[in-house]
Amino acid sequence: MSREVMEYDVVIVGGGPSGLSTAIKLKQLNPDINVCLLEKASEIGAHILSGNVFETRALDELFPNWKELKAPIETKVSKEKFLFLGKEKSISWPTWLLPKVQQNHNNYIISLANLCRWLGEQAENLGVEIFPGFPASEILYNEDGSVKGVATQDMGIDKEGNKKDSFEPGIELQAKVTVFAEGCRGHLGKELINKFELSKDKDPQQYGIGFKEIWEINENNHEEGLVMHTAGWPLDNNTYGGSFVYHAKNKQVYLGYVIGLDYQNPYLSPFDEFQRFKTHPAIKKMLEGGKRISYGARALIEGGIQSLPKMYMPGALLVGCDAGTLNMPKIKGSHTAMKSGMIAAETINNHLKDNENLSTYEKLFKQSWVYKELHEARNVKPSFNWGLIIGILFTGIDQILFRGKLPFTLKHKHADHETLKTANEMPKIEYPKPDNVITFDKTSSVYLTGTNHVDNQPVHLKLKDAELPIKYNLEKYDEPAQRYCPAGVYEVQHENNLPKFVINSQNCIHCKTCDIKEPSQNITWVTPEGGGGPKYGNM
Amino acid sequence: MKILVAVKRVIDYNVQVRVKEDNTGVVTDNVKMSTNPPDDNAVEEAVKIKESGKAKEIVAITVGEEKAQETVRKALAVGADRGIHVKVDGVIEPLAVSKILQKIVDKEKPDLVFMGKQAIDDDCNQTGQMLAALLNWPQATFASKIEVKDKTLEVTREVDEGLETIEVNVPAIITCDLRLNEPRYASLPNIMKAKKKPIEQINALDLGIDTKPRIDQIKVEEPPKRKAGIKVANVEELVQKLKNEAKVI
């Protein structure tokens, strides 16, 4: 069946910081370039989740007058703390002893979702055509193999794949250059990385899963502008992760936890580790009398420069964390994502104007401050393979004494899906039951995300082998999907004493963790019908 | 025939609504907003009637702040021909909306006015009825099926006892139930085209309508939390508890 075709100079897939910055910069360079941006969420910002302590460097370049334009960036960081947590105690690490990358006094505590909403408005004012609720579900190729554009998802298909009355076919968006800005583990980005072998000679990508809750807390416990990070309990020495606690305005606290997806114990439940973290006396005291108002989770990139794929291919570019530009030791990726988009825009502008090859993207990227900071940061994450304590010692030497200039680069050895040990080798973890005051279960948490997928649509979490979860994973790993999914999508139920694997795809909050961590890479995340997924507010 | 369809911008039905801490209302900042769901059914039905050749023009109207225009744009993207946005800031009650719609009806002279049976934010279920009274037009509320006849409509209504079928003379007000139809998706090319369709902006004050709220809202609170249930061991205990604790038997 032939689909309707629309042609643009540039089509951008994804309305996060990188995609929006690409669109804005393109229009700033040449208002005549016609730019279309697709977003799978029901509106810009509704699938954005981030800490977020924001470094304004890229935004200062994109909109030097962002203050006048009323960007939602208000709470300047006024105080910083770093705590090592033991089970009951905590030790405060002096901030002057923190590496420079972890000092935040020039940064702001923001909601990245709201910043994206604002960037979306700026982009529309510049003439970018933004289409929320339209996921790009398919890559189109020219006969010579170059990328021709994308197709949007068909709407109104039932579970069995039949057309419903409301069926609306997807359309083809063809472009001179297509920019993929889907964020961490974008499902089209993944296809491109494989097809064009963009990760050849690179280390395997490293990921983490990040949780975030917004709390409204008691005035007496609130200190607007305070940024706190913790390491240690409840994770053991061999699991990479830590928390963030950002005191925003209106008595709100952005509270979150990040765990490296290279963890080894299949019994580990990142969600429950986060819940347990909140019961530490230092944290619980702050939350008591408060109320949780939001919840969400999203996978993030931790691999850095060693794992960064080639970001250009015929007809297309990867920007932001669809490639992997997050700076892990800095715990920040928004400014680097934005800058990568702006560099992509310059490349595209030169390409359209003077037919310059898209490979100049790499050249410009390497000359930019993003590359410099990712290069300096490169050895931190891999050093934690030696455990938390040695990792911290090494990081001190690498970041404080040598400022990232040590003459070698540590490697990431394994992909995250290869790191699980079998269930019988690892200890079971008993997590405390939620008290529904400080800690909660997954169901009530997902409820806060406003997640919905139109029922009677095909399951968007595809199993390559439908038998594998029960026949292989259950015995070998006690089916870890039950635990690594932060939204309770995967369950092993028992029917007539036989285990059965159930996928509650309507709960999916689009974090992509299953696509990353499944030991046999058996789960593929694809786009559900447009507008589905969470409806995050101020995340 | 000409159909006027009224649409309202409300908090999206999937969003977990949160009460403001000072109990003056609910939080709407950066919350996902959408068209009131039964209003989508109203638009869909109007478009279907137009597609069947029984209507010539569909005018979508909304009353509300600047951003309420998005709901008219959406109606335009699924088949309405032009839009009207009556601008009012702040709280606006069904009576004021009805009075505004009355003025617009006087001006536009539609044969039918469609809208959702109620809005999911205030759940008032009043605007259609009040408009019918102000215009002295017949009304058919909670419509789950509409058949356009010569000078009349046959409307099936969702009532407590089941379904009721009535006939109303045109012109009439119809308020639509969710069962009426399945609203279509706006396609990307149609969204593009909708951007070029005209939306007339009118200030409520210019219509001579005082939109000041007539109701004093004292406070907004979350419903009390339900107590957790308990398991009883046997029938005796159940009866005893129903008698002595719940005092229902």
Using one digit for the tens of pLDDT, what is the confidence trace for A289-311? Answer: 999 999 999 999 999 999 999 99
Q: Are strands A291-301 and A136-141 parallel, antiparallel or unpaired?
A: unpaired
Please indicate whether, in this complex, the C-beta atoms of A166 and B183 are within 8 angstroms of each other.
yes
B91 assigned to some structural domain: yes
Interface test with A, best of B14, B35, B41, B51 (most A CBs within 10 A): B14
Please indicate whether, in this complex, the C-beta atoms of A171 and B187 are within 8 angstroms of each other.
yes
Question: Mean pLDDT throughout A164-187?
Answer: 95
Among the partner-chain residues A45, A114, A166, the one whose CB lies closest to the CB of B185 is: A166
Closest CA to A261 of A297, A292, A223, A218: A297
**Alpha carbon distance B184, A155 (integer Å):** 10
CATH top class, domain A5-67+113-202+309-377: alpha beta
State yes or no: pLDDT of A72 exceeds 80: yes
Using one digit for the tens of pLDDT, what is the confidence trace for A355-410? Answer: 999 999 999 999 999 999 999 999 988 988 888 888 888 888 888 888 888 888 99
Interface test with B, best of A452, A455, A535 (most B CBs within 10 A): A535
Q: Which has the higher per-residue pLDDT, B35 or A88?
A: B35
- Dihedral (CA of A219, A223, A229, A230) sign: negative
In one letter, which amino acid is A279?
T
Alpha-carbon distance A451 to nearest alpha carbon in chain B (angstroms): 7
Instruction: Check if the beta carbon of residue A337 is closer than 8 Å to that of residue A18.
Output: yes
Among the partner-chain residues B14, B21, B182, the one whose CB lies closest to the CB of A535 is: B14
Alpha-carbon distance A3 to nearest alpha carbon in chain B (angstroms): 12
Tell me what pLDDT residue A248 has: 97
Domain that holds residue B168: 2-224
State yes or no: pLDDT of B16 exceeds 90: no
Chain A residues within an 8 Å CB radius of B30: 45, 111, 113-114, 117, 537-538
Interface test with B, best of A35, A43, A219, A443 (most B CBs within 10 A): A43
Please indicate whether, in this complex, the C-beta atoms of A134 and B185 are within 8 angstroms of each other.
no
What is the value of pTM for the model shown?
0.93
Please indicate whether, in this complex, the C-beta atoms of A168 and B187 are within 8 angstroms of each other.
yes
Q: Scanning every residue of chain B, which has its alpha carbon at the shortest distance from the alpha carbon of A290?
A: B21
Among the partner-chain residues A42, A117, A171, the one whose CB lies closest to the CB of B189 is: A171
Give the count of domains, chain B: 1
Tell me what pLDDT residue A404 has: 84
Residue with tokens 């994308």: A150
Tell me what pLDDT residue A388 has: 82
Q: Scanning every residue of chain A, which has its alpha carbon at the shortest distance from the alpha carbon of B21?
A: A216
What Å distances lie between residue A118 and A69, A112, A125, A277, CA to CA? Answer: 9, 10, 11, 33
Tell me what pLDDT residue B246 has: 84
DSSP state string for B2-49: EEEEE--EEE-TTS---B-TTSSSB--TT--EEE-HHHHHHHHHHHHH
Chain A residues within an 8 Å CB radius of B191: 131
B213: domain CATH number is 3.40.50.620
ipTM value for the complex: 0.84
B248 assigned to some structural domain: no
Please indicate whether, in this complex, the C-beta atoms of B188 and A448 are within 8 angstroms of each other.
no
Among the partner-chain residues A46, A168, A450, the one whose CB lies closest to the CB of B185 is: A168
B196 assigned to some structural domain: yes
Please indicate whether, in this complex, the C-beta atoms of A168 and B15 are within 8 angstroms of each other.
no
HEC-encoded secondary structure of A295-349: EEEEEEECCHHHCCCCCEECCEEECHHHCCCCECCCCECHHHHHHHHHHHHHHHH
Chain A residues within an 8 Å CB radius of B32: 42-43, 46, 450, 535, 537
Which residue numbers of B have CB closer than 8 Å to A's CBs? Answer: 12, 14-16, 18, 21, 29-32, 34, 182-185, 187-189, 191-192
Please indicate whether, in this complex, the C-beta atoms of B32 and A46 are within 8 angstroms of each other.
yes
**Alpha carbon distance A178, A319 (integer Å):** 11
Q: Scanning every residue of chain B, which has its alpha carbon at the shortest distance from the alpha carbon of A295?
A: B16
B242 assigned to some structural domain: no
At residue A9's C-alpha, the angle toward residues A7 and A13, to 5°, is 85
User: How confident is the prediction for chain A on average, in pLDDT?
Assistant: 95
Domain range summary for chain A, segments of one domain joined by +: 5-67+113-202+309-377
Using one digit for the tens of pLDDT, what is the confidence trace for A73-96? Answer: 999 999 999 999 998 888 888 877
The pLDDT-based confidence of B219 (bands split at 50, 70, 90) is very high
Please indicate whether, in this complex, the C-beta atoms of A155 and B18 are within 8 angstroms of each other.
no
B57 assigned to some structural domain: yes
Question: Mean pLDDT throughout A213-217?
Answer: 97
Tell me what pLDDT residue A119 has: 98
Using one digit for the tens of pLDDT, what is the confidence trace for B119-170? Answer: 999 999 999 999 999 999 999 999 999 999 989 999 999 999 999 999 999 9
Tell me what pLDDT residue B58 has: 98
Please indicate whether, in this complex, the C-beta atoms of B184 and A166 are within 8 angstroms of each other.
yes
Alpha-carbon distance A530 to nearest alpha carbon in chain B (angstroms): 10
DSSP state string for B63-81: EESGGGHHHHHHHHHHT--
Lowest mean pLDDT among A199-208, A298-307, A406-415: A406-415
Tell me what pLDDT residue A103 has: 85
State yes or no: pLDDT of B95 exceeds 90: yes
Chain A residues within an 8 Å CB radius of B34: 42
Chain B residues within an 8 Å CB radius of A530: 185
In one letter, which amino acid is B27?
V
Tell me what pLDDT residue A211 has: 98
**Helix, strand, or coil (residue A72):** coil
State yes or no: pLDDT of A464 exceeds 90: yes
Chain B residues within an 8 Å CB radius of A507: none
Q: Are strands A312-313 and A490-495 parallel, antiparallel or unpaired?
A: unpaired
The pLDDT-based confidence of A454 (bands split at 50, 70, 90) is confident
Instruction: Check if the beta carbon of residue A73 is closer than 8 Å to that of residue A66.
Output: yes
Tell me what pLDDT residue B101 has: 98
Please indicate whether, in this complex, the C-beta atoms of A450 and B183 are within 8 angstroms of each other.
no
Alpha-carbon distance A314 to nearest alpha carbon in chain B (angstroms): 26
Using one digit for the tens of pLDDT, what is the confidence trace for A331-353? Answer: 999 999 999 999 999 999 999 99
Tell me what pLDDT residue B227 has: 80
Tell me what pLDDT residue A1 has: 58
Using one digit for the tens of pLDDT, what is the confidence trace for A90-121? Answer: 888 887 777 877 889 899 999 999 999 999 99
Interface test with A, best of B22, B78, B188, B226 (most A CBs within 10 A): B188
Instruction: Check if the beta carbon of residue A515 is closer than 8 Å to that of residue A523.
Output: yes
Lookup: tokens for B87: 């601008």
Please indicate whether, in this complex, the C-beta atoms of A168 and B32 are within 8 angstroms of each other.
no
How big is the A-B interface in CB pairs under 8 Å? 57
What Å distances lie between residue B13 and A25, B16, B34, B119, B222, CA to CA? Answer: 35, 8, 8, 11, 17
Lowest mean pLDDT among B15-24, B36-45, B195-204: B15-24
Please indicate whether, in this complex, the C-beta atoms of B30 and A43 are within 8 angstroms of each other.
no
**Alpha carbon distance A368, A366 (integer Å):** 5
Alpha-carbon distance A532 to nearest alpha carbon in chain B (angstroms): 10
